[in-house]
Amino acid sequence: MAPTSFLTTGDGDIILRAGQEPDSKHDFRVHKFILSLASPIFKDMLTLPQPPNQNDAEQPDTPVVDISDSPEILDVILRFIYPGVEPPKLTVLSTVFDVLSAVDKYDIISMRPVLADALKSFVDAEPFRVYIAACRFGFLKEAKAAARALTPRQINLSERYEKDVRHITGTDLYRLLWFVQRREQLGLLSISDFFSLDPGDYDNPCQKHWDDRKSLYAQLEGGVQDMFKINPRVRLDAPNAVLDALPPLHGCILAPLDEDEDEDMDEGGRRIDCHLQPSFIRRRLSQLTKELDRLNNTLIKIAFEKEF
């Protein structure tokens, strides 16, 4: 963002001088009234005597307040709190972090919902960093959303995340580790249970394809477990991708995947619940999705209510 694009007003009665290095400082001429409405910290700060602006010959009496935040971050905050000014789009996660830090410092409550939404938009791309920021700034809903998106392999404590990780408590980190590891462990067991079939498990009029059934369900179990480990939020009740990854099915396949289940009947009007039939597999995957959702919800509740 070029300095010429920074928000400033010609009739402002206070100058905020942002930046730490002399060559990076920038003056924002703004209004005490708007700053005081947005932030109790600004309000208290502006009650203190401020030195005049010696750099402005035209308006030398305008008081100056030095701000350590970068001009870019202060500009974002001003655009959010000023009426009639279009707020910027926050498309970089590190910018969201810096703005959150400044907003927290100045106690600008009105910006918290906007920044919470901005955080949530990065859950799919960088769930671990979102979780850290959400815990640090007290966004419980966003912390849970980020935790749901994470797998054990995405929790990275390398030097790349050192600056972020130092802001998270040991309890919040352990809470996350407990949740993602427990969910994967129990989720894989649930998937295995759902695809473990014995010949007498169901009232199945078609018992002659037992070997085909065992082979198919072993492949289904492995495929679904792999999907779950990569993305624990995967929806299995739309199983076309799961079935398409398998070799052609054999046995009493009476209806393709996209036909109605009502057609899966024998001549006597009884449902043919053949385990090799796509409609039956679809129902099983739908049941499994509900089970994994229930597990996810139960564990996330425990993780964020349990005293570790």
pLDDT of residue 261: 46
User: 194 — phi, psi (to 5°)?
Assistant: -70, -25
Q: Residue 256: pLDDT band by 50, 70, 90 thresholds?
A: very low
**Segment among 140-144, 167-171, 173-177, 202-206 with least mean pLDDT:** 202-206
- CA 64 – CA 188 distance, rounded (Å): 61
Report the pLDDT averaged over residues 166-180: 92
Per-residue pLDDT reduced to its tens digit, 1-48:
444 478 888 888 899 999 888 777 899 999 999 999 999 999 998 887
Each residue of 246-256: b (16+ CB within 10 Å) or e? eeebebbebbe
pLDDT of residue 216: 75
Closest CA to 38 of 77, 88, 89, 86: 77
Closest CA to 223 of 151, 297, 285, 153: 285
Closest CA to 79 of 182, 14, 15, 9: 9
Point out which residues pair with 63 in neighbouring strands: 52
Q: Residue 247: pLDDT band by 50, 70, 90 thresholds?
A: low
| DSSP summary character for residue 202 | S
| DSSP summary character for residue 167 | T
pLDDT of residue 282: 77
Top-confidence residue, 218 or 259: 218
What is the identity of the amino acid at 116? Answer: A
Q: What 3-state class would DSSP assign to 28?
A: strand
pLDDT of residue 221: 87
Angle at CA 177, nearest 5°, toward 175 and 180? Answer: 105
Report the pLDDT averaged over residues 81-97: 92
pLDDT of residue 45: 86
**Segment among 68-77, 127-136, 153-162, 187-196 with least mean pLDDT:** 153-162
What are the Cα distances from residue 236, in Å, to 65, 93, 284, 291? 57, 30, 9, 11
52-60: long-range contacts (C-beta < 8 A, 24 or more apart)?
53/15, 53/27, 55/27, 56/15
pTM > 0.95: yes or no: no
Q: Are the beta carbons of 191 and 225 closer than 8 angstroms?
A: yes
Report the pLDDT averaged over residues 226-249: 70
Q: What tokens does 146 get?
A: 């980020």
pLDDT of residue 60: 62
What is the identity of the amino acid at 176? Answer: L
pLDDT of residue 46: 84
Please give the full DSSP string across 142-156, using - where no structure is assigned. HHHHHHHH--GGG--
